[in-house]
Every structure is written in C-alpha cells, then in structure tokens.
Amino acid sequence: MSSRAVAAAVAVAAAVAAAAALVAVEACAAPPTTALEIDPAGGEDVEPGVAVAARVEPPPPSRYGAVWIPVPSTPPIHAVPASAVALAVTEDGRVAVTADDRGCLRIWPTLDGTREPVVVPGRRAVQVALARDGRDLVIGTLDALGQLELIRVTAAGVAIERVDVDSPRPFVQLTAARGFVARRDDQVLAWFDPRGSALGELAAPTGERVTELAARGDRVVAIVERAGVHCARKLAFGPEGPAWGAASPPLATVGHAALSPRGTQLLAASSDGGVSIFDLRSGREMPIVDLPDHPVGFAADDAAVTTGAGEENRWIPARGDLLAGPIQGDATTALTANGHVTAVGSMLAITADDATRWLGYRMTSVTDMVPSRGGGWLATDAHAVVHLDAHFRADHVYELAPPEGDAAIPTYALADDRHVVASLADEHELYDLAAPAAEPVELPRRGTGFELERSTGLAIVRGPTKTELLKYDPAAHAFGPPFAVWTQLDDLSHVHLVDPALAHGAVAIDLEAHQDSDTLVHVDVAELHLTAGGALTAVHRDQHEVISDGAGVDSSIDVGMPDLPRARRTSPDGALVAELWHGRMTVRTAAGAVRWTRASNDAAGLYWTDASGFVVFGGGVARIDAASGAVQECRCGWRFGSWAQAVPDSVAPDASLCEAP
C-alpha cells in the first residue's frame, strides 16, 4: 500500500473514532433543545444552554399490578435484631428501618432510646427504603428475586397494610423519593406512590444503560452509560409520569454513587480506582481519595463520607480527620444532616456532632427463669437480674453491687425466686432480693468456677486445687458446708450437674478422660446419685474410647457427655408432656403420642402455667398454646435504651422465639 493510501486510511480511522467519541459524548450532553423544566421541589430549574436529553416516547399503559396482603391484627412484637444487611433512615434522621440476616424487618420508631424497634411482617429483604406518607411510614423492600413490597406502618411501628407490586421484570435497585423509584434489570425506571400504584415508567434512551440511581430527598439522578462514557441524568416528575431532565457533562465515574442534599454534587468511585466528588453542572472532578475507598454519602454539600480499609472513615473535604463513630458501608450506614446512623450487631450507632450513642437492648436472652410468688417471673441472662411482669416486660432491674472497688460485671445464678448467687473472680455471694439493704452472704468455699442446678439445690465450686459440692437449703436460704462424695474416679473436676428428671435419676455426670496413646482416649463415665439419706454415691455407667487428633486431649474438653433434653415437664393435669430436645419443642400425650413439634433452637427451659399452655424461655420468652403450639405472646429483648457504650457481644440469639415459624 502506498504512503498516500496509508495516510488516507489513518485519516478515515481517525474520523470514525472522533465520530464515535462525539456520539458517546452527545449521549450525555445532547444539543440544547426545548428544556424540560425540573420541578422546583425535585431540583433546580434548567439554565439556558444546559444540555437536556430528548424525551422518550410515552410508555404503554402500566403493566404493574398490586396485590394487597392481609395484615393480622396482633400485638406488636419486640425482638432483638440480628446483624443488619440493609438500613434506611428518613430524611429527617428520626426513624430507621433495618433488615437483618435472619430475614426479619424492624422499624425503629424513634432514635432517642424511648421506643423499642418493632418486628414488621415482610419478605426477606436485601434492600430497604423508607418514606413518610402523612402520619404513616412506608417501608419499601426488595428481596433476592427482585420482588418489590411496600409495607405501611403507623408512627408506633404497627403494620397496617402490605402491598406486593407485580412487575413484568425483576427490580435491582430501590430508592425512596416522591414515593418510590425502582430500577428494573432491563434499564426501565418505575415510579410508585406510597400505596403501590404505578405513576409511570421511563425507559433508558436508545443506546444508553442505566447503571445506578442516586437519590436524596425528592431529588433523583440516574447514572447512565453509553460507549464507556458516564453521565448523570436528572429525573423530572409530573402528572404524566417521570421524564428525563438535564444531563451532566461526561463523568469519569463508575459504580456506586451518592447525591448531595441539594442535588448539585455526586460522590462516586472514580475510573482510576479512587473516590471523587463530581460537580453535576460543570462535570469537574475533585479527587478526594486515591485509595479504593467506598463512597458512603454526604452529610452536607461540603462534607462527603467514604470508608475504606482499616475503617478509616473520613469527612471530606470540610475536615480531613477521621469520622467519629462506626461506619460499615452504604448498605448499613445512612447519613443525616449532622451525623450518621450505622447498624452494628443488634444495635444502632447514632452519631451526631462527633458524639455516638448506642441504641439497643442490654439484655438479649434469658438463660434462667423462675416463677415469682408475687406474680410474674425472676429472670437472668447471667449478667443482669430482672423481674418480668405477666406479659414478660421488665418492670424492675435489680442493682446488685459487685465487691467494693471492682468494676467487673458479676455472673448470676438463680437459687430461687428470691435469692441470687453473684460470682466474681473466685468470690461467690448470696443476695436476698427481698432485703436489698442486707449484706450478701459469702459462700463457704471459693473458686473460679461456680455451677448451680436448682432442681436439686446442688452447686459445684471449682477451686484451684479441688472441686467441691455444696447444697442449697431453700428453707434456710443458705448453702451448707461442702460434703464428700464416694467415687472411684480421680476427682470431681469434670462433674456436670443435671436435672434428675432428665438423666434417669442422676444428679450429676462425672467424666474422666485418659490419654492412652497419641490417637486413643479412654473415657470413664460415672453417674452421681443422691441417696435417701441425703448422701451422694457414684455409679460407673460407661467406659468407652474415642479417637484423638494426636495432639492430646485438653482437660477442659468434656468427652462423652450424655445427650440429654434441655427440659421435660408434665402438665398440671398429667395429660401432656412438653419437651425441649435436639432444637425442637415437642408436646406429647402422657402415653407418648406426639401432638405437635416445632423448631426452637434457642429454647433453654419451660414452665407449665396451667393445663392449656406453658412458658418457654431462651432467646426470649414466649407463651405457647399446648393444643396447637401457637405463640400466644412473646418478648425478646429487655433493658432497651440509648447507651453511652456498646453492649459487649450485642448479637441476637441464632433463632429468636419471637421470630420462629
């Protein structure tokens, strides 16, 4: 080919490339035409000369149906949240909604600690949005299949309406703006009012792809892409439905984006892997982070927030320092006018003016509970002791002071409905709850471990060199001196107390493991029985071998503990037996026929209240109908409030009684 031909070919290729680039740019900045005036409440009026995209043809009549799902009239359910996967907050920062990894929704009616979160019926959500509609709140949710549901609740969090929106295509993103705007997987945007009625839909202009929606208040912009070029297009909302408004100049951005409160800036991941603020009028990019941080949003037009490795959360650019309070990304953090809200474990961290308060429950489960002779229940989670009324609400928290000068938190064991053993380090003291001014009585033995079985009154104190048994006298409200146990085993360091009703009459199981070789462990098992004279005797029941990993057996690990039910109790009339075993709650007749069974992984114990039902406790407290297994009343979580510090291990039980199917 001659040099002239080569030059001509190069010129043609350059012209083609330039035309392609021009087409790409024009997709985001079309020549000025008759401007579509943006509603003043949704954005600024279009200035002369600002590029505006041509409006697409009106869409066909609405193809969205709405199915109203009945909402049963039941008392509000309060339960400790699990770890949140999605969070949304109203624009005024006063109400929040969370979706957790157990598939439950919760509305937080206030964020000042005065009102508990309420469980809301709905699908297992991966995205949530929250809007006000008069005095009500409306929760929008998307599940993993892209199904949209709108749930209306009162200001108190009580669900009054559920609407399942039927769509021809799955939704992939949901925002709360002028109702709700959702993005489908086929580049169509749909606008719904708070009751689920479709107000119109808007298809992406030909050749463009909508990659993201960014909303703040009533303002919405769509990030669109054509031939690798991105820009932000404003959405206008009118009687005829949504329409494309002004478009920004090309933006060097990809991925998640957040809109500033006045709709003039965009915080987004930049094409070079960092994070930038983009001016939507000029297209000017202001790089703020050159690391792969994640853009969270704006607290104000000049204060953007990102989060990256090492939890280095930043106010940018108003202040270059680290942001107070925790941030975990845009899915579980919402920015407010003067701070942010972040879901952490079972709590919400509310940060405002560089101060963080923790919203949540200080008591998330019940490890033991006894009926109170004065009515209600005495309950503990091993770290606090409370009195519950007949509806399982905590009406009194007992303040049991630890030994003077020690700020550690004791662990508690209920001796009866009036007396509690507090254990701290190697000290164990018996408190009389009916005499709060009285000095606690120190137990006759010290040891770093304490275990109490209330059904027998036996207690184990594990000392540094010796493990001893004590017995609680309920008449005298005191523990007697240690007593000896005849046993052929070496000591009592591996004794576990059990309820004789669950262990064929045994009051304790003693396990002794001996390492016979690198891989073989010999286990002696003995049952301790209480004789008619009040003495204890040991009976060998089993000897077996288990395979070790070759590293030996840790003496703190019990090998061969019998598989026993957590609870088994007979109804007052003797007709039924309720049992907790293998993660199931089961009711049988006295003859052994199963009436019903249901999952209950977190149940620790139960009490019959009358022949018609019983109360079960564990990851909450619930009243169960003996005939059907239905939950008649429940509560999961106590001591709710706004706290200066996070509750240690503030994670809900694996399966709450209040949420079990």
Q: What mean pLDDT comes out for the span 90-119?
A: 91
480-508 pLDDT per residue, tens: 888 755 444 445 557 788 999 998 888 88
Record the tokens describing residue 161, joined without a space.
Answer: 């309406």
Edge-first strand order for the sheet with 65-69 is: 65-69, 159-166, 148-153, 136-143, 125-133
| pLDDT band of 307, cuts 50, 70, 90 | low
Tell which residue, 116, 115, 159, 156, has the closest CA to residue 141: 159
Does residue 611 or residue 508 have the better pLDDT? 611
> What pLDDT score was predicted for residue 356?
86
Among 96-110, 501-515, 601-615, the range scoring the smallest mean pLDDT is: 501-515
Q: Residue 243: how many CA atoms within 13 Å on its side-chain side?
A: 20
Does residue 357 or residue 559 have the better pLDDT? 357
Distance CA 424, CA 612 (A): 41
Tokens 């508990």 correspond to: 116
Distance CA 248, CA 157 (A): 40
| pLDDT band of 325, cuts 50, 70, 90 | low
Distance CA 491, CA 485 (A): 9
Edge-first strand order for the sheet with 198-203 is: 171-176, 180-184, 188-192, 198-203
Cβ atoms of 50 and 264 within 8 Å: the answer is: no
> What pLDDT score was predicted for residue 311?
45
> What pLDDT score was predicted for residue 517?
54
Q: What mean pLDDT comes out for the span 333-342?
A: 79
Q: Residue 526: how many CA atoms within 13 Å on its side-chain side?
A: 22
Among 40-54, 75-89, 555-569, the range scoring the smallest mean pLDDT is: 40-54
What's the one-letter identity of residue 651?
A: V
How far does Cα 599 stand from its chain's mean position? 20
CB-neighbour burial class of residue 402 (10 A; exposed 0-12, middle 13-18, buried 19+): middle
The domain limits of the chain are: 1-54+205-322, 369-385+397-547, 567-635
Q: Chain-wide mean pLDDT for the chain?
A: 79
What's the one-letter identity of residue 554?
A: D
442-448 long-range Cβ contacts below 8 angstroms, 24+ apart: 443/470, 443/479, 444/470, 444/479, 444/480, 444/481, 444/482, 445/470, 445/482
541-595 pLDDT per residue, tens: 655 444 444 444 444 344 456 788 999 999 999 999 999 998 899 999 999 999 9
Q: What mean pLDDT comes out for the span 177-188?
A: 94
Number of Cβ within a 10 Å radius of residue 44: 17
The fold adopted by the segment(s) 567-635 is Thrombin, subunit H (2.40.10)
How far does Cα 519 stand from its chain's mean position? 42
Residue 67 confidence (pLDDT) above 50? yes
Residue 277 confidence (pLDDT) above 60? yes
Distance CA 283, CA 248 (A): 6
Among 115-129, 394-408, 618-632, the range scoring the smallest mean pLDDT is: 394-408
Q: What mean pLDDT comes out for the span 42-58?
A: 37
Share of residues in the chain with pLDDT > 90 (%): 40
pTM metric for this prediction: 0.78
Residue 444 confidence (pLDDT) above 80? yes
Distance CA 360, CA 85 (A): 17
Q: What mean pLDDT comes out for the span 309-334?
A: 53
112-117 long-range Cβ contacts below 8 angstroms, 24+ apart: 112/642, 113/357, 113/359, 113/640, 113/641, 113/642, 113/643, 115/156, 115/157, 116/78, 116/637, 116/640, 117/78, 117/79, 117/81, 117/157
Torsion of CA 122, 123, 128, 134, to 10 degrees: -30
Q: What mean pLDDT comes out for the span 93-120?
A: 92
> What pLDDT score was predicted for residue 557?
43
> What pLDDT score was predicted for residue 324?
56
Among 125-139, 281-295, 490-504, the range scoring the smallest mean pLDDT is: 281-295
> How far are the Cα atoms of 319, 542, 564 from residue 545, in angstroms, in the given order?
65, 10, 20
